[in-house]
């Protein structure tokens, strides 16, 4: 038995035609058979050349298709999430229709526009990556099928085993991105995890907490979202004063301290509105709580809150306003004495 016939026996054509031994769609096998008249050599050429060429051709087609699909997804998402409103307004103006009617009240806000662009980028990255995985999965399965390897049952079993949880996470992640619940760089409260968003995928969100802990939260497990840094935030400071303090003087001192902090050079660009003393927040066991608020840029509220508390202590000390602390009266009873 020759080496060629041995190889042909090991790798027979899967759909060979009974008359010539070549598969119906094997061009190379037919060409070699016509040129040599040797069926074994034609079968070997089919295994050695035709299938690898088909495998490489499928991979090349998948690579090109992946590029086209990713580009189309990015353009579609950008058109939907962050459309070019100026072009639409210009076209309407040429038709005699007021194009400014397309604008919302917050369309001129640079923060809103920046978030819209960031959201479009996040959604396009996630969807294009997902589309790439789908295209390459189908392409690799098809390419392996050209050389006689069938992964269909294995992939179907794997998808059926983990599809329920994966689909749940992906759908939740897609709606989260489309609704702009939060984006990369936002400080969010997801229940068990609180921190800054570092990465978003369709399946999970990655947070980094204040102490450096990295949390990986599946999107399907998120029941509620608290975004602490979207568009604007409020710095809230509660200060206690003694019950015998002059409340009018305490309110004026608190407003003065907050205003002086807001006028500092490092905070002037962050403050959106002047500080507001809301008044008495509660009557506690040890003192009266007065609240002051300041509307600031998102993410800057914590630094301003710390600065206001520090400066309030200085101002109150200068004016003699007491910041109360818990006090106890201790009764010392001698032996033999009755209460």
φ, ψ dihedrals at 86, nearest 5°: -65, -40
Burial 125-155 (b: 16+ CB within 10 A, else e): bbbbebbbeebbeebbbbbeebeeeeeeeee
pLDDT above 70 for 211: yes
User: What pLDDT shows up at residue 115?
Assistant: 65
pLDDT digits (tens, 9 = 90+) for 54-81: 788 888 888 998 888 888 887 777 766 6
pLDDT at residue 273 tops 80 = yes
Alpha helix (H) ranges present in 213-300? 247-262
**Could you give the CA distance from residue 44 to residue 50 in angstroms, rounded to a whole number?**
10
Confidence class for position 99, pLDDT limits 50, 70, 90:
very low
pLDDT for 266 beyond 70: yes
101 Cβ contact list (under 8 Å, min separation 6): none
Are the beta carbons of 124 and 200 closer than 8 angstroms? no
**CA dihedral (30, 35, 41, 46) positive or negative:** negative
Task: Establish how many alpha carbons lie within 13 A of residue 21's alpha carbon, considering only the half-sphere containing its beta carbon.
Answer: 21
**Of 9-13, 87-91, 94-98, 284-288, minimum mean pLDDT range:** 9-13
pLDDT at residue 230, rounded to an integer: 76
pLDDT band of residue 37 (cuts 50, 70, 90) is low
**Directed axis angle between helix 152-178 and helix 110-146, to 10°?**
170
What is the reported pLDDT for 92?
A: 54
| CA torsion angle 35 37 41 44 (round to 10) | 80
pLDDT at residue 30 in the model: 65
Bridge partners for 238 per DSSP: 291
Terminal-to-terminal C-alpha distance of the chain: 117
pLDDT value at position 304? 94
Residue 309: is its pLDDT beyond 90?
A: yes
Six-digit token string for 88: 């639409």
Q: Which residue ranges form the domains of the chain, and what is each CATH number?
A: 1-150 (no CATH), 187-227 (2.30.30.60), 233-319 (3.30.70.100)
Per-residue pLDDT tens over the stretch 133-166 = 778 878 877 777 776 676 666 666 656 655 667 6
Each residue of 165-205: pLDDT tens digit? 767 777 777 777 777 788 788 888 888 888 888 888 778 88
Give just the sign of the alpha carbon dihedral 273, 275, 277, 282.
positive
Residue bearing tokens 């989260």? 176
pLDDT of residue 25: 55
Q: Residue 253: pLDDT above 90? A: yes
Closest listed residue to residue 135, CA positions, set 57, 76, 55, 64: 64
pLDDT of residue 127: 77
pLDDT band at residue 254 using 50, 70 and 90 as cut-offs: very high
Average pLDDT, the chain: 76
φ and ψ at residue 188, rounded to 5 degrees: -130, 155
Distance between CA atoms of residues 210 and 298, nearest Å = 16
């Amino acid at each position: 038995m020759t080496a060629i016939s041995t190889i042909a026996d090991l790798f027979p054509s899967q759909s060979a035609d009974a008359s010539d031994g070549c598969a119906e769609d094997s061009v190379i096998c037919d060409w070699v058979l016509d040129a040599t008249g040797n069926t074994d050599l034609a079968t070997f050429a089919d295994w050695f050349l035709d299938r690898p060429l088909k495998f490489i051709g499928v991979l090349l087609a998948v690579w090109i298709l992946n590029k086209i699909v990713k580009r189309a997804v990015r353009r579609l998402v950008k058109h939907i999430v962050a459309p070019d409103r100026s072009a639409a307004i210009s076209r309407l103006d040429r038709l005699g229709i007021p194009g400014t009617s397309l604008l919302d009240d917050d369309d001129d806000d640079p923060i809103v526009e920046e978030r819209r662009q960031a959201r479009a980028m996040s959604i396009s990255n996630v969807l294009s990556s997902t589309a790439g995985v789908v295209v390459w999965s189908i392409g690799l399965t098809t390419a392996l099928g050209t050389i006689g390897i069938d992964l269909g049952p294995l992939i179907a079993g794997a998808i059926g085993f983990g599809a329920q949880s994966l689909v749940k996470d992906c759908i939740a992640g897609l709606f989260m991105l489309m609704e702009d619940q939060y984006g990369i760089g936002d400080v969010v409260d997801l229940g068990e995890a609180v921190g800054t968003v570092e990465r978003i995928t369709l399946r999970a969100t990655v947070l980094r907490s204040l102490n450096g802990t990295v949390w990986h939260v599946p999107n399907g497990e998120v029941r509620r979202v608290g975004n602490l840094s979207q568009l604007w935030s409020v710095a809230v400071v509660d200060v206690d004063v003694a019950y015998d303090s002059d409340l009018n003087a305490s309110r004026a001192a608190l407003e003065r301290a907050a205003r002086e902090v807001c006028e500092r050079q490092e905070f002037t660009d962050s403050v959106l509105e002047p500080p507001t003393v809301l008044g008495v927040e509660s009557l506690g066991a040890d003192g009266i709580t007065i609240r002051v608020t300041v509307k600031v840029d998102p993410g800057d509220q914590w630094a301003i809150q710390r600065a206001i508390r520090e400066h309030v202590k200085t101002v109150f000390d200068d004016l003699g306003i007491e910041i109360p602390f818990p006090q106890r009266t201790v009764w010392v009873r001698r032996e033999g004495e009755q209460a």
